[in-house]
Amino acid sequence: MSERKQFRAIKGTRDILPPDSGLWNWFEKTARDTFESYNFREIRLPIFEETSLFARSVGGETDIVSKEMYTFEDRAFGLEKPKRIGDVGDFITKVREAANSGQIPNDPSNRAEIETVEQLWRRFVSNDFELGSEEAGGLSPADQIHLMSRSAGDVRLGADISLRPEATASTMRAYIEHGMHALPGNVKLYYMGPMFRRERPQKGRYRQFYQIGAEVLGQSDAPAIDAEVIEMLMVFFQRVGLTRTTLYINSIGDKNCRPAYVELLRTELQKVKEQLGADSQRRIDTNPLRVLDSKIPNEQEIIAKLPRIADHLCDACKENYAGLKRELALRGIAYEENWRLVRGLDYYTRTTFEVIAEGLGSQNAVCGGGRYDGLVELLGGQPTKGIGFAIGSDRSILSIQESGNVPALPGLDVFVAWMGMDTYPTAVKIARTLREAGFDVELPGEEMKFKKLLNLADRLGARYALIIGSDEVASGTFTLKRLADADQKKLNESDLLETLTNERRGTRA
Ligand code: HAM
């Protein structure tokens, strides 16, 4: 007897069910409308990319890349590990060809693996199965086979790929791949979709979560661009009712001034190393800036006394940061400066920002972003300036729900309550007509008793029941019953459409 296993969504992933999915659609549509009003256009990106794209851009030492990515080996078409000893010769020929044509990694380590399998194979076929012979390196045939299959298993048969932990890297890859630098003006793109990070799941933190991001790429780093991006973000949050928020901004300098500041920070951190926890101690070597991010209570007093980047910016960065603050003031955008806002991704320069929402507990950042001049170049493109952000949809929607600011979204307009098979053709026809006129209509597929029909209409939350009985069919009319107050009218088709349309204007104005 087969085991009756109950499948559940994997920890850190979840299903978004109606009516929440309606709220999500509205949230995403509002983002589209807002971003497009600022002349941003959508880019749709793949869910997985080469692992090295993320390592190079987000940074190999970051938590995201070093611990949290879902990484696996792809499989080039038509290649598989040898199942029997007789397949090994053929396997070697195929992987050699695949490496030469770039279908599988042709780096020194993969070439060495292929070489090892080939050497073992040559020995194996030439030593005539002589137990412990010289040629076989003193190995029994069973040991040789074991070794060969282990080495064949180590040959990588496809690219090393990862589910995207974020989408800025993919956007840069696409920008370069499609020569988008040649497009007129700044290239303004937005995206939305799932991202994947192997984090410890908790409220507001998932392993599959959703972002809505926007990026501006071009030749200018004018602070007006940064401010407009931030304005667009705050206008969006306003529109979706996410108003109990704080915008934090900072400048983390650029390649001219940051290295000296990082060294100064490292020196100062060395002096207090013993008082810091293990993570911060490790970061003194790997990335001292990240120590500023620490939330550990007894590190706070020490961090408060560390040198601040604002006092160590070069003149160009200082002017750029002052410009950003002027531009935000011009737009009436309230912000707070936070010198400790360094962000957990390596690609940032100058402006960084984050938006925090109330009522979310520890996972309260609903958006993070910043400038990343030089990232396109780092990935092999032309020197390009860039800035962008990503909104965490899960957390933002959670915050809207918790604040009680959920909008009344349109639901089921009409439930067609037909009675008797002779009324059914009329019901089918009017359902189609109403749907074409833009109404949400439920048409039962089976005959039901009147009481049951009205009861179901009520439970489905329909605003109206459209009653069709033999009388109505005979007189060419419909009975429209408003379920909220049981108000009832007999109408012909054109009056019915007019009544419903007027009512919709009233409720959706
Ligand atoms: P990030 O700060 O890593 O930045 O992520 C942005 C937002 O995604 C966070 O503020 C948070 O709301 C949400 N988020 C991140 N991880 C999770 C998770 N495990 N569960 C739920 N929500 C999460 C970036 O990803 C950059 N690419 C942003 C950017 C775009 N910078 C420049 N352009």
Residue 211 Cβ inside 6 Å of ligand 1? The answer reads yes
Q: What is the mean pLDDT of residues 12-16?
A: 98
Taken in order 419, 423, 428, 429, is the CA torsion positive or negative? negative
Q: Binning pLDDT at 50, 70 and 90, where does residue 258 land?
A: very high
Give 65-75 pLDDT, tens digit per residue: 999 999 999 98
Instruction: Kindly tell me if the per-residue pLDDT of 79 is higher than 80.
Output: yes
Residue 14 Cβ inside 6 Å of ligand 1? The answer reads no
Closest by CA position to 110, among listed 147, 69, 152:
152
Q: What is the mean pLDDT of residues 258-278?
A: 95
Q: What is the mean pLDDT of residues 461-468?
A: 98
Q: Could you give phi then psi for residue 136, rounded to 5 degrees?
A: -85, 10
Instruction: Kindly tell me if the per-residue pLDDT of 135 is higher than 70.
Output: no
Report pTM. 0.92
Instruction: Kindly tell me if the per-residue pLDDT of 219 is higher than 50.
Output: yes
Q: Who's near 338: CB < 8 A, 6+ residues apart?
A: 248, 249, 250, 354
Can you give the three-state secondary structure of 125-158, one letter per residue? HHCCCCCCCCCCCCCCHHHHHHHHHHHHHHCCCC
Give 417-440 pLDDT, tens digit per residue: 999 999 999 999 999 999 999 999
Q: Who's near 235: CB < 8 A, 6+ residues apart?
A: 34
Q: If you measure from the C-alpha of residue 241 to the centroid of ligand 1, how many angstroms do you get, rounded to a whole number? A: 20
How many percent of the chain have pLDDT more than 90?
A: 85
| Best of 53, 192, 353, 395 for a ligand 1 pocket test (most atoms within 8 Å of beta carbon) | 395
Give 372-422 pLDDT, tens digit per residue: 999 999 999 999 999 999 999 999 999 999 999 899 998 999 999 999 999
| Residue 76: per-residue pLDDT | 84
Per DSSP bridges, beta strands 208-218 and 245-251 are unpaired
Q: Binning pLDDT at 50, 70 and 90, where does residue 146 land?
A: confident
CA 266 to chain centre: 33
Q: If you measure from the C-alpha of residue 129 to the centroid of ligand 1, how many angstroms do you get, rounded to a whole number? A: 59
Residue nearest to atom 13 of ligand 1 (CA): 392
| Residue 1: per-residue pLDDT | 56
Instruction: Kindly tell me if the per-residue pLDDT of 131 is higher than 60.
Output: no
Residue 165 Cβ inside 6 Å of ligand 1? The answer reads no
Q: If you measure from the C-alpha of residue 212 to the centroid of ligand 1, how many angstroms do you get, rounded to a whole number? A: 9
Give 232-242 pLDDT, tens digit per residue: 999 999 999 99
Ligand 1 atom nearest the C-alpha of 215 is: 33
Q: Could you give phi then psi for residue 369, rounded to 5 degrees?
A: -170, -175
Residue 395 Cβ inside 6 Å of ligand 1? The answer reads yes
Q: Binning pLDDT at 50, 70 and 90, where does residue 186 land?
A: very high
Please tell me the distance from the alpha carbon of residue 274 to that of residue 284, in angstroms, as a whole number: 12
| Best of 166, 210, 347, 350 for a ligand 1 pocket test (most atoms within 8 Å of beta carbon) | 166
Residue 368 Cβ inside 6 Å of ligand 1? The answer reads yes
Q: Binning pLDDT at 50, 70 and 90, where does residue 2 land?
A: low
The per-residue b/e assignment along 255-293, b for 16 or more CB within 10 angstroms, e otherwise, is eebbeebbebbbebbeebeeebeeebeebbeebbbbbbb
Instruction: Kindly tell me if the per-residue pLDDT of 211 is higher than 80.
Output: yes
| Residue 28: per-residue pLDDT | 98
Residue nearest to atom 21 of ligand 1 (CA): 205
Residue 356 Cβ inside 6 Å of ligand 1? The answer reads no
Closest by CA position to 386, among listed 353, 348, 355, 337:
348
Among 61-65, 116-120, 275-279, 384-388, top mean pLDDT goes to: 384-388
Please tell me the distance from the alpha carbon of residue 48 to that of residue 366, in angstroms, as a whole number: 24
Mean of pLDDT over the chain: 94
Q: If you measure from the C-alpha of residue 357 to the centroid of ligand 1, how many angstroms do you get, rounded to a whole number? A: 14
Least trusted range by pLDDT, from 20-24, 130-134, 233-237, 331-335: 130-134
Residue 82 Cβ inside 6 Å of ligand 1? The answer reads no
| Residue 137: per-residue pLDDT | 64
Q: Binning pLDDT at 50, 70 and 90, where does residue 509 land?
A: very low
Query: Residue 86 gets which letter from DSSP?
Result: G
Residue 105 Cβ inside 6 Å of ligand 1? The answer reads no
Q: Is 345 helix (H, G, I), strand (E, B) or coil?
A: coil
Residue 226 Cβ inside 6 Å of ligand 1? The answer reads no
Residue 164 Cβ inside 6 Å of ligand 1? The answer reads no
Instruction: Kindly tell me if the per-residue pLDDT of 508 is higher than 80.
Output: no
